[in-house]
Amino acid sequence: MTKNNLLELLQSGAENWNAKMEKEPFIPDFSNQTITVKNIAGFRFPQGVLFHGSRFPDGVDFSDSFFGGHLVGFSNTHFSGTGPDFTGAVFEAENVSFANSSFNSSDGIKFEHCTFDVQKTLNFKECSFHGDFVAFTYSSFMGEFILFNGSKFNSKRVSFVSTTIDCTELLLSKLELADRGIMEWANSIVRCEDLMFENGQFENSNLIFNPSILKVSYFSCRNSLFQNLLIKPVDMEHKESVVKFCLEDMCISEKLDISDSRFTDINKFSLVGSKILSVLNMSGSSFCNVPDLRQTYVSNHLSVGDIFLYDGGRVKNPDHDEIEVLRRLREVAKKSEDRKTELDILSFEFDTQLQLSEIPKMRRFLIFMYKLMSNYGRSILAPIMSLLFLIAISSVVFFLNVSDSHQILLGLNEDPTCTERLIKLANWSLTLSVSNSIPFAGWSSGIRPIMVNQLYGGVLNAPIMVQVMAYFQSIGSVVLLFLIGLGFRNNFKL
């Protein structure tokens, strides 16, 4: 059919057009034409269609239309007036291209409730959107590549709210948003291998990336400029491949908010080299591994309060880089005067050192004992129980080294005086152990010689085992008392 005949058929309405397509399916070519038909709603293009370089009238309506075939071509097209409206349109083609198209609307640009079931590529590269809003709300995107690279959204609001995206690569690099514009992803479901917002220009606008489900291998906002960036994925679906969240080398003029988010299936979360010229809020977020804040500059306030690192923020093969990342995060917590988070991160740092074989064995042993006896200075109960255990063990050693203790134990059932002697020796041994556990107390120095005299007939007669145990107990008790005090200090912020 000639282009004139095609235009006449298009003007005849959806019923005639669809009947023709059903009887004699072909690929209509409207390239470089000025289309005057406004109502193209419900039209079917089962073999594809070419509108390359065409111009559409004010308020053109493609709602509920169907596009199939090998190629649906809208590249370099021009839309103006109060349209276009693609609400409810279905794209089931191998490739769909709106590349380099211009959408100019005094109202809004509507791609709501659309189905983009594309086998290979959905292309919105280098598009220009001018309108009050751009809406992809409640639409679904499926295919290998979904491309919005280099597009300019000169609209107050760009909405991907409640969309479903399932693809290999979702590329939104080099995007530009209008001054005070907002791009929002609330309640969306995003599943892809690579998700890119790299080199974006959001300097005076806001990107709110808050999908309800996010499943990606690599997420990157590298080298982008933002005014405000809000990232709050509600759920990160598990993915077997390595997952990296890259927010490196960004510049954010106001606020980066990733608070109360779950990043628990991400193997790498990096903000290396980024500049936040006001506030960075990470409080309340959960991470599988330690967020990397090395060389990150925050001019105003950085909050990491109540962040939660699953399994101690461990990695399968930790190295010294992991320790440096933890130290940087601990430094941030200290500057934020967040004592609890600082202690939590310090404990993760020690746990990581326990996994490193190159750390000297003696250091790892001391770290292990520090963890065992006080949970890295965060527990009060653990050192108290350790001190009571030390007192009990020392009492038993002091008792068993009394000269007649064995005869007393053997004669308990035959001689009643043995029971009385046993009670006295036990009391004296316990008193000696308690006084020895608090060596700096004034009453302790007076009691110890008396108890030693009662048990052994004087200090000089005390067995070597008793003397060794006494020295060990004195040193151990001082350490445990220090840990008890440290626990009170850390738990009650003394």
Residue 220, in any domain of the structure? yes
Say yes or no: 145 and 275 in one domain. Answer: yes
- Band of residue 494 on the pLDDT scale cut at 50, 70, 90: low
Which run of H or of E encompasses 280? strand 279-281
CA distance 271 to 315: 18
- Band of residue 239 on the pLDDT scale cut at 50, 70, 90: very low
> CA torsion sign, 143 to 149 to 151 to 155?
positive
CA dihedral 420, 393, 471, 484 (to 10 degrees): -120
Say yes or no: 387 and 261 in one domain. Answer: no
Instruction: Report the SS3 class of residue 20.
Output: helix
| Through-space distance between the first and last CA atoms of the chain, rounded to whole angstroms | 87
Domain containing 472 equals: 381-492
CA distance 369 to 407: 38
CA distance 419 to 336: 62
- Which tens digit of pLDDT belongs to each residue from 422-474? 889 999 999 999 998 887 776 777 888 899 999 998 888 889 999 999 999 99
Distances (CA, A) of 444 to 392, 434, 436, 438: 17, 8, 7, 7
Residue 243, in any domain of the structure? yes
CB of 158 closer than 8 Å to CB of 132: no
- The pLDDT value given to residue 315: 45
Residue 24, in any domain of the structure? yes
78 bridge partner residues: 55, 102
The number of angstroms, rounded, from the C-alpha of 490 to the middle of its chain's C-alpha atoms is 27
**380's tokens:** 């009060």
Say yes or no: 408 and 289 in one domain. Answer: no
Say yes or no: 405 and 279 in one domain. Answer: no
CA distance 107 to 292: 43
- The pLDDT value given to residue 237: 57
- Which pTM does this prediction carry? 0.73
- The pLDDT value given to residue 65: 97
Say yes or no: 258 and 390 in one domain. Answer: no
Say yes or no: 273 and 401 in one domain. Answer: no
Burial 191-200 (b: 16+ CB within 10 A, else e): bbebbbbbbb
What integer is the mean pLDDT of 205-229? 87
Lowest mean pLDDT among 126-140, 226-240, 257-271: 226-240
**364's tokens:** 């790892």
CA distance 158 to 109: 10
Residue 319, in any domain of the structure? no
Q: What DSSP assignment string belongs to 387-436?
A: HHHHHHHHHHHHHHTSTTHHHHHHTTTT-HHHHHHHHHHHHHHHHHHHHH
Is pLDDT larger for residue 175 or for residue 214?
Answer: 175
Say yes or no: 266 and 387 in one domain. Answer: no
- Band of residue 241 on the pLDDT scale cut at 50, 70, 90: very low
CA distance 15 to 12: 8
- The pLDDT value given to residue 149: 95
User: Is residue 226 pLDDT above 60, yes or no?
Assistant: yes
- Which tens digit of pLDDT belongs to each residue from 183-195? 999 999 999 989 9
DSSP at 192: E
Say yes or no: 285 and 388 in one domain. Answer: no
Strand locations in 14-127 (E): 44-45, 49-50, 66-67, 71-73, 78-79, 90-91, 95-97, 102-104, 108-110, 115-117, 121-123
User: Is residue 234 pLDDT above 60, yes or no?
Assistant: no
Is pLDDT larger for residue 93 or for residue 310?
Answer: 93
- Which tens digit of pLDDT belongs to each residue from 301-314? 777 767 776 554 44
Residue 369, in any domain of the structure? no
- Which tens digit of pLDDT belongs to each residue from 312-351? 444 445 667 778 888 888 888 887 777 888 888 888 888 8
CA 67-71-74 angle, 5° bins: 75
CA 100-102-105 angle, 5° bins: 160
Say yes or no: 259 and 405 in one domain. Answer: no
On the CB side of 179, CA atoms within 13 Å amount to: 0
Residue 145, in any domain of the structure? yes
Number of domains the chain contains: 2
Tell me the average pLDDT of the chain.
87
- The pLDDT value given to residue 468: 93
Burial 256-283 (b: 16+ CB within 10 A, else e): bbbbebbbbbbbbbbbbbbbbeebbbbb
Domain boundary among 295, 312, 329: 295
Select from 184, 112, 181 the least CA-distant residue to 152. Answer: 181
- Which tens digit of pLDDT belongs to each residue from 261-275? 777 767 788 889 998
Where on the phi/psi map is residue 461: left (φ > 0), alpha (ψ -120 to 50), or beta?
alpha
- The pLDDT value given to residue 342: 83
Residue 171, in any domain of the structure? yes
Which run of H or of E encompasses 438? none
Residue 13, in any domain of the structure? yes
CA distance 458 to 450: 8
Domain boundary among 263, 295, 327: 295
Question: CB neighbours (10 Å) of residue 327?
Answer: 14
Domain boundary among 260, 295, 330: 295
- The pLDDT value given to residue 233: 65
CB of 141 closer than 8 Å to CB of 119: no
- The pLDDT value given to residue 314: 47
